[in-house]
Amino acid sequence: MKVLLIKDVKSLGKAGEIKEVKDGYGKNFLIGKGFAKHATEEVLAEYEAKKAAEAAALEKEIAQLKELAAKLDKAEIVIKKKLGQNGHLFGAITKDEIAQALKEQHGIEIDKKHITDKVNIKTIGEHELDFKLGHGLHAKLHVDVVGE
């Protein structure tokens, strides 16, 4: 009996593989426990269509992330903060403030979790921040902090 593995099975193989197994093992254990499906032409066609759809979705997501990275590389944001008597900032610039400024100034919405640097900007001036977007893509953002 041929089965298509849905989940990894330790002694048999990984998900997505087609394996030849004994009828009892296939029907009673693998299919019964939900580890596999009987490898009919319909099941295999459905599995291939699902794989193709996932690959297309992944390509689309990567293209969107590349576009976002290009926008971030070109963008520059200005953050205004109050200064103390000695010219230092009150507190530090947070990831939330950077994400909010990016949304307000450029209309780019990004999750603060994508900012990889430990944002601890406590001085006025120019700073470079690194964004980790996923799928191995990175972007740099130029931040200019000015006092009020």
Give pLDDT, residue 117. Answer: 67
Report the distance separating Cα 134 and Cα 111, nearest Å: 12
Is the overall model pTM greater than 0.85, yes or no?
Answer: no
CB 127 within 8 A of CB 97: no
Highest mean pLDDT among 21-25, 98-102, 108-112, 144-148: 21-25
Q: Which domains does the chain have, with CATH numbers?
A: 2-63 (3.40.5.10), 64-147 (3.10.430.100)
28-71 confidence digits (pLDDT tens)? 999 999 999 999 999 999 999 999 999 999 999 999 999 999 99
How far is residue 62 from each of residues 57, 58, 90, 143, measured CA to CA in Å? 9, 6, 39, 25
90-99 confidence digits (pLDDT tens)? 888 888 999 9
Give pLDDT, residue 43. Answer: 94
97-128: b or e for each residue (b if 16 or more CB lie within 10 Å)? bbbebbeeebeeebeeebbeeebebeebeebe
